[in-house]
Amino acid sequence: MPATLNVIFGPCAAGKTTYAHALARREGAVPFVLDEWGARLFGPDLQGPIEFAWMLERLGRCNQLIWSTAEAVLAAGSSVVLDTGGMRRADRDRIRQMADAMGLSPQWHFVDAPQEVRRARVAERNTAKGETFVMEVTPEMFEMLEAVYEPPAPAELEGAVLSLGDDGGAAAPAAAQPEAVD
Q: Could you tell me the domains of the chain?
A: 5-164 (3.40.50.300)
| pTM, full prediction | 0.84
Q: Which residues pair with 163 in a beta bridge?
A: 111
Three-state DSSP class for 3?
Answer: coil
At 173 the pLDDT is: 53
Question: Distance (Å, rounded) from C-alpha 108 to C-alpha 78?
Answer: 17
* pLDDT(91) > 70: yes
For residues 117-144, average pLDDT: 83
* pLDDT(182) > 60: no
At 4 the pLDDT is: 95
For residues 61-68, average pLDDT: 92
For residues 91-116, average pLDDT: 94
Question: Distance (Å, rounded) from C-alpha 171 to C-alpha 113?
Answer: 9
In contact, 158 and 181? CB cutoff 8 Å: yes
At 48 the pLDDT is: 67
DSSP 106: -
State the Rg of the chain over Cα: 16
